[in-house]
Amino acid sequence: MEATSPRECASTRMGQRRSGEGSTFCVKGNQIITQRWSTKMQNYNTVQAELLSFQKAIDHATNLPQQPIAILVDNQASVLAADNLKSRNPIARTI
């Protein structure tokens, strides 16, 4: 099977703001942002913010059957939490 390059790229970002943690997900296709989502959370919700944007990217990818997509996550801890079957975090368990 020949590898194909993704038509879309979904990326996640988590950042701290003065008013709390921020979680962002965006989709780019042909160098144009085609979809964007963001939310603000309390300061202590860093892990939840990371996992939530990761979950949004996965939800987007699963709605595009047979279309290659790359998901870029800027925090390896959220990927490891989602991969851990014994995770106590409810968002990580749904991923």
pLDDT: which is higher, 18 or 67: 67
Amino acid at 58: I
Q: What digits encode the pLDDT tens for the residues 7-55?
A: 555 656 555 555 555 667 677 777 777 777 777 766 656 777 778 878 8
User: Between the ranges 38-52, 61-75, 77-91, where is the mean pLDDT highest?
Assistant: 77-91
- Give 87's pLDDT tier (boundaries 50, 70, 90): confident
Residue 39 is given by DSSP the state E
* Phi-psi domain of 68 (left: phi exceeds 0; alpha: psi -120 through 50; beta: other): beta
Give bridge partners of residue 37 from the DSSP assignment.
Answer: 25
Give bridge partners of residue 32 from the DSSP assignment.
Answer: 29
| pTM (predicted TM-score) | 0.62
- CA-closest candidate to residue 6, choices 27, 37, 36: 27
CA 83, 89, 93, 95 dihedral sign is negative
